[in-house]
Amino acid sequence: MALLQVINLHKNYGERKLLNSCSFKLQTGEIIGVFGRNGAGKSTFLKILFGTITAQEGCIKFNESRFPLRRTCWDKNTIISKGLIGYLPQFSFLPKAVRVWDIIPNYFNGEEQNLIFTAPRMADIAKRKVNELSLGQRRYLEVLILGNLKHPFLLLDEPFSMVEPLFKELIHEFLLSLKEKKGIIITDHYYQDVWKLSDRKLILHTGKLIPIENISDLVKHNYILGDF
């Protein structure tokens, strides 16, 4: 089991305190859902953990090793440089004009490629160029690639947005299978999908990460209306 801890994370934009003393723990074998309204700082939070945005204060701890959050991924002593975290951004990271079967060898060698090519629905997807895929097919492919890499922790930003029901279900099943060996953080405005998958739930509200247990807590913190 691996343990990831975020300690005393602060992020300001000018006068605005976007993230204020955020701390939490994530271990392999669990999925954490992070909820929050537009502009609450969810994507910024994930980018700081991944290392593409710096924070004013805080550190991230992997087991007993500490990494400052004031450094970006281009610095040598960061958690991303150690290959410990994978990150799915909101927007596609795959080259649009390339066939899928030519992309997979960039990430996997030899028999490892079968992890992707033998996955459900991939026989058809692999023949196409990325720009010929539906939103659901592309998102499913991206989650498959990142999920099958060796890092023990995975951050997913909007994995279900505009995804067709068939591929949403496949993503659900794949993430549940990954839970045996990875710790996962998911944030998405399709909150029902995140809620179903999550073992623990947090809401990012007024700069704080607040543990929640019931859907009614999303109403309490002004994330959804009461007639859910």
Q: pLDDT tens-digit profile of 90-128?
A: 999 999 999 999 999 999 999 999 999 999 999 999 999
Residue 23 reports pLDDT greater than 50 = yes
- Residues with Cβ within 8 Å of 85's Cβ and at least 6 positions away in sequence, in order, are 4, 49, 50, 51, 79, 151, 153, 154, 155
Tens digit of each residue's pLDDT (9 = 90 or more) over 44-63? 999 999 888 889 988 889 99
CATH architecture of 3-220: 3-Layer(aba) Sandwich (3.40)
Q: How confident is the model at residue 81 (pLDDT cuts 50, 70, 90)?
A: very low
Decide which of 17 and 125 is more confident.
125
Taking the domains of the chain in order of start, what are their residue ranges? 3-220
pLDDT digits (tens, 9 = 90+) for 184-199: 999 999 999 999 999 9
